Structure 1
Amino acid sequence: MPNSSYKTRIERMKSRRKGSLDQKHVATESISNPRYDGLEHYALLENALDLPENWESRGASDSATRYVIGAMQPVDSRYTQISLETAGRIQNQLNKKLTQSLEFRVQGSVPLDIHIKGFSDVDLLIIDQQMLMYALKGIGSYRPSEKDSRDVIIALREAACDALKSAFPAAHVDDNNNKSLRITGGSLQREVDVVPSIWWDTVEYQMTKSEDDRGVTIINKSTREHIYNAPFLHIKRIKDKCDQCNGGLRKSIRLLKTLKADSKEEGKDINLSSYDIASLMFHADADNLRHNAFYELAVLVETHRWLNYLCQNPDNAKQLDVPNETRKILEKPESFTALLELTGIVNSVVTEVLRETTGIPDEFYSYKMSDVLKNKVVY
């Protein structure tokens, strides 16, 4: 891929990480509106974030190497802070306006610090405590409820929808998604997905009483089907694996999510979710990812190696579970095709990075990538 293409990708990545002009305009407009109190500190945070980031001076200008290094980096922590505080504003209003006994948790990419957008949306679980689901094979002692869990969750959704419209009259509350409500605009600095749910006490939770092992139950409002998930175990296992490899896992996930986002901008949508991408790289070699503490391109080396291994061994790839073991990662037939597509994009990036870091013409690329890149630290 010519450098002009990477120039476009780098500019797109800067916009994604720092917010588009439209996003910044909306944020500034809402902050300056005197009807909204307590937002002054947002202005101080947002306005300070147009400064160049460290990665923008690493590698040659408009190079694939600079693009890869930038794609690995976390979004500035101040952006993440605003995302979490926006979810907190939603939580405070729902606590005030709803009569149920509620608990709240944030799930998804933001608490894991694997989001790639400065103006990243946030998933907020709202958990009704009046009843719960539990695994029958567990050791816990429960008294069955006479209530229908589907009715409880749908009633919570309806009450939350009304409460959000009342609390944020200038915002838009979208009730069309089957699993969640989405609130945007007005004084809110981020989009927030509100997910009505109740607790699900898994077999493991009944033994350990650790919230990491506890799940949640949500409802598909169209079909009224239960959906069981264990988001806290997913978060814990990704975090633990990332600690083992000095942050290398997060860097790999961000890199692949960035490649996926740019591929979509360029007309090719890769049908793997952020969750799927994180799950695939969760199974990569921690020792190989750990080397990023000394040379960051080691993350690209292991990402390249692991994805190509999966493509060459489809039976093994299709047996991999998501980190919380609730399903197979590639459970849909089209998911393996998407893996092949994503791997092809990684391979093209690798070819360009090799060209830049070695200066060797294409016809001489007989080196192992790990041998070439491990001594090419880009400062």
Structure 2
Amino acid sequence: MTMIDQRLQKLRARRSGADRATAVATDQQIEILRKQVLGEAYERRAGGKPFTRYALGAMQEVDPDYTRISVETANRVENQLRQRLAADGLDTTYRLQGSVPLNVHIRGVSDVDLLTIGLGSLYYATAGVRAQRGDYSPPLRDTLVLLRDLRRMSEAALRAAFPAVDVDTTNAKAIKLSGGSLARPVDVVPAVWWDTVQYQLSGLEHDRGVSIYHKFDDVTINNLPFLHIKRVSDRDVVAFGSLRKAIRLCKNVKADSEEEGTVIGLSSFEIAGLLYHADLTALRAGAQWELGILAETQRHLDWCYQHPAEAQALMTPDGSRRILDTPEKVTALRRLSMEMDKLLRQVAREQNAVLYLQESPSLESSRRAVEQLIVQ
């Protein structure tokens, strides 16, 4: 079996959930098998051109039914937690964060991050307008104490609510649930609200942050998950849906590369951040010429590699930090860029008879060969 045949096989397993079937309930395992037999629309495209089929498939969103089940499973966990924690005197509210609500997840069986936000105490920016006006009352209980209790009580509540589920409490930030009666794995992430300066001014929830509890260090970590989702989603609308496709493409290439032994140490958050800065005009063209998304993704990553100073100045969409803030991430970018170079060249060779005769066509000619093609 060739490398691209193996990648197509892994892509199919990843999207159908077959790669993680043991992490879900038995009825879901049967459904995964059924959908894998049926196949997906991308598998019937680009006949005889496997690299092209892989590139197109790697861009597509996961079956919406799978995403719906992920959200419903998180809701089921939420309902149990809310009731049991309330019975113990702890009020909570819940939100989703991560790749699933942003719709850039690449697995049919994808972990869902469920923020479990303790109420009655929070952190806030003292420079914010509400803080300056004295709008914040003294908390009912110390925030760090609340978070310790929230983590401990959540672990106990989840074990009681889901006796057949594997409740893994060894992770510092999340309680990881899988198997048993759950249709999808769920990561429960204890936190409290963090009222940022901007949130105190706007009152808009996407400006509000969360402080996530680190169990082993007994500290909190400030995050802006809703601002990240809002800004990437808004930019994707302007890009006519092509930004999300570019992010999924990179995540799938990363997943396959790592299975083949090339580690690419960039998180989903960082990959989304890098593609956030890609050329919007070129991405918009991908709404008509889908392989143009591959061309722009390769071009942008290559530009980042060729212009390290400028690339290392790029900020995450939420503005919280530089994306490439360590030498290891710069190395990871180079590896991802090289993987995208290889994929682009192979797709171009499949689509262009002249380039097919060249073992390694130039990247510029490869981009020109694919960026305005309609693939059936």
TM-score class, shorter-chain normalisation, is over 0.9
Q: 1:372 aligns with which of 358, 369, 372?
A: 369
Moved over 4 A (4+): 25-28, 42-48
Task: State how 1:156-167 maps to structure 2 within 5 Å.
Answer: 156-167=150-161
Determine if the alignment matches structure 1 residue 116 to structure 2 residue 114: no
Q: When the two structures are aligned, how many residues end up with a matched partner?
A: 365
Secondary structure, aligned partner of 1:216: strand
Task: State how 1:317-328 maps to structure 2 within 5 Å.
Answer: 317-328=311-322
Determine if the alignment matches structure 1 residue 335 to structure 2 residue 322: no
TM-aligned CA distance change 1:297 to 1:62, over 3 Å: closer
Q: CA deviation at 1:26?
A: 6.5
State the distance in 2 between where 1:364 and 1:197 align. 50
Deviations 1:312-349 (A, max 9, x none): 11111111111111111111220000000110000011
State the distance in 2 between where 1:332 and 1:60 align. 42
User: Which position in structure 2 is the counterpart of 1:36?
Assistant: none
TM-aligned CA distance change 1:222 to 1:307, over 3 Å: same
Q: 1:192 aligns with which of 186, 205, 229?
A: 186
Q: 1:138 aligns with which of 118, 125, 128?
A: 128
Q: 1:20 aligns with which of 11, 18, 21?
A: 18
Task: State how 1:91-130 maps to structure 2 within 5 Å.
Answer: 91-99=78-86, 100-130=90-120
AA paired with 1:237? Answer: R
> For structure 2, which runs of at least 5 residues remain unmatched after alignment?
none
TM-aligned CA distance change 1:351 to 1:161, over 3 Å: same
User: Which position in structure 1 is the counterpart of 2:65?
Assistant: 78
User: Which position in structure 2 is the counterpart of 1:4?
Assistant: 2
AA paired with 2:247? Answer: I
State the distance in 2 between where 1:49 and 1:340 align. 36
AA paired with 1:17? Answer: R
Determine if the alignment matches structure 1 residue 315 to structure 2 residue 301: no
Is the CA contact 2:128–2:197 (under 8 Å) kept in the aligned structure 1? yes
**Normalising by structure 1, what TM-score?**
0.92
State the distance in 2 between where 1:257 and 1:21 align. 16
AA paired with 1:164? Answer: L
CA RMSD, aligned part only? 1.8
Q: CA deviation at 1:183?
A: 1.0
State the distance in 2 between where 1:144 and 1:327 align. 30
User: Which position in structure 2 is the counterpart of 1:39?
Assistant: none
Is the CA contact 1:4–1:62 (under 8 Å) kept in the aligned structure 2? no
State the distance in 1 between where 2:210 and 2:95 align. 11
Q: 1:348 aligns with which of 336, 342, 361?
A: 342
Deviations 1:100-139 (A, max 9, x none): 2211001100011101100011000000111111001100
Q: CA deviation at 1:43?
A: 8.2
State the distance in 2 between where 1:213 and 1:196 align. 19
Is the CA contact 2:121–2:140 (under 8 Å) kept in the aligned structure 1? no
State the distance in 2 between where 1:98 and 1:198 align. 15
Determine if the alignment matches structure 1 residue 251 to structure 2 residue 245: yes
Q: CA deviation at 1:97?
A: 0.6
User: Which position in structure 1 is the counterpart of 2:35?
Assistant: 49
State the distance in 2 between where 1:278 and 1:174 align. 28
TM-aligned CA distance change 1:287 to 1:169, over 3 Å: same
TM-aligned CA distance change 1:176 to 1:17, over 3 Å: same
Q: Percent identity?
A: 42
User: Which position in structure 2 is the counterpart of 1:38?
Assistant: none
Q: CA deviation at 1:15?
A: 0.5
**Normalising by structure 2, what TM-score?**
0.93
User: Which position in structure 2 is the counterpart of 1:238?
Assistant: 232
Q: CA deviation at 1:22?
A: 6.5
TM-aligned CA distance change 1:276 to 1:172, over 3 Å: same
State the distance in 1 between where 2:78 and 2:23 align. 22
State the distance in 2 between where 1:139 and 1:318 align. 33
Deviations 1:78-104 (A, max 9, x none): 010111111011001001111222110
Q: CA deviation at 1:376?
A: 2.1
State the distance in 1 between where 2:69 and 2:318 align. 28
User: Which position in structure 2 is the counterpart of 1:221?
Assistant: 215
Q: CA deviation at 1:269?
A: 1.5
